[in-house]
Amino acid sequence: MIVPTIKGNRAVVPGLVNAHSHAFQRVIRGRTEHRTAASTDSFWTWREAMYRAANRLSPEDVYHVSRMAFMEMLLAGITTVGEFHYLHHAPDGTPYDDSNLIAKQVIRAAQDVGIRIVLLQTAYERAGWQKPINPLQARFIFQSVDAFLKSTDALLKDTEVPIGIALHSVRALRLESLLGITDHARSRKLPIHMHVAEQPAEIEECLAEHGGRPSELLREYGILGSDFTAVHAIHLTGQEIGYLGAARSTVCACPTTERNLGDGPVPADRLLETGTRICLGTDSNAQIDVFEDARCLEYHLRMNQLSRAILPVDELFRGTTESGSNALGLTQDSGDYFIIDLNDPLLAGLDDADLITQLVFSAERSAIRDVFVRGKQVIADGRHPDQDQIVTTFRKVQKRVWD
């Protein structure tokens, strides 16, 4: 693990890794924080609002929204993002002439702002077991698994950035599809990511269809492995936690989104005890601050257990850096780092002895001055060179989407 160091009144910190992002969801920040006509607002009511927003975005809009999200990540010291990409087609489900048009817009946005990206091409084929077609999901669904795999292989050939495979969830894919896509990914040595056990309703549906819980199903059919990352992994039994550890899988916790959506806390302490690795993601991008996600992973446990200092701070820091790189099939790059101003009021008095602890529990992005990716400076004195233009264009997209 590359560790931070102090040089004078500056701390040099390895670049943070955001292992799970849906960049287009940046467009709904602050737009769903109210009661609706539903008897109870939940992940599922939020999801419908997210779908409606997603269907208002053109491919060029996705570029501008992604660019905004990725610039914010750089400002927060994030030098690598794993983009869990499932916005594939036109709003009515018609494929573009280039089936990877929107994926390439997302990649272009990352390259233009200077962040390292792993594009996690996401398979999605149905609304759920025995559920009718949801027209709001038409943009996500390929006509067949073969069409998805063909498109993914084309993306591997057409772009220089790393590509991974994402299985959206057990509710969005039939077992036959899960197995076929997993085999395809492993034949190409691609990392595999999947939403797992984010909501109790997902587990109930999996039990009804398959007679087992999601992690049980994934273990039974050999989908778990050291190349597999379970995103969220909240509602787990002790046995399922053991399965993830035995397979040396990774869990990507997204505490900001998980508290925003009322998902529940990730049982990170029990997962780490079994050898499961933990990394972090910003998911819906309701807030972009990986250090905040790391401390909230710990704080959620403190609230539930009425205790303190539950997770080893070295593991929390590893979750912001090395574990995320591993989950994306990368190794840490010494050319990815950022500079923190130790004279910032948030961090005054920080020293070598407690550097990692104070960064994890005290640092915020306002203290970040400069950011480097592959040795190239992309943030200088707390600003991106294209910041004004990126923000102005994003505001125009927001006005068009929401007016």
Q: Rounded mean pLDDT of the chain? A: 96
Q: Say how far apart CA 198 and CA 290 lie, in whole Å.
A: 19
Residue 314: which CATH number? 3.20.20.140
pLDDT of residue 193: 98
pLDDT digits (tens, 9 = 90+) for 194-211: 999 999 999 999 999 999
Catalytic annotation on 283? Answer: yes
How large a percentage of the chain has pLDDT more than 90?
Answer: 90
| pLDDT at position 192 over 70 | yes
pLDDT digits (tens, 9 = 90+) for 218-241: 999 999 999 999 999 999 999 999
- More reliable by pLDDT, 247 or 40: 247
Q: Per the residue annotation, which of 232, 235, 300, 384 is the catalytic one?
A: 232
The amino acid sitting at 207 is L
The mean pLDDT value for 73-100 works out to: 97
Question: What b/e readout covers 65-77, taking b as 16+ CB neighbours within 10 angstroms?
Answer: bbbbbbbbbbbbb
Contact 197/213 with Cβ under 8 angstroms?
yes
How large a percentage of the chain has pLDDT more than 70?
Answer: 100
pLDDT digits (tens, 9 = 90+) for 16-48: 999 999 999 999 999 888 887 766 778 888 888
Catalytic annotation on 227? Answer: no
pLDDT of residue 348: 86
pLDDT of residue 37: 72
pLDDT of residue 39: 65
pTM higher than 0.85:
yes
3-state percent breakdown (helix, strand, coil) of the chain, nearest 5: 45, 20, 40
Q: Per the residue annotation, which of 227, 283, 333, 336 is the catalytic one?
A: 283
The mean pLDDT value for 312-339 works out to: 97
pLDDT of residue 285: 97
pLDDT digits (tens, 9 = 90+) for 137-178: 999 999 999 999 999 999 999 999 999 999 999 999 999 999
* Residue in the block written with tokens 């993306």: 155
Note down the domain range covering 261.
Answer: 5-402
pLDDT of residue 132: 93
User: How many domains does the chain fold into?
Assistant: 1
Q: Say how far apart CA 220 and CA 208 lie, in whole Å.
A: 16
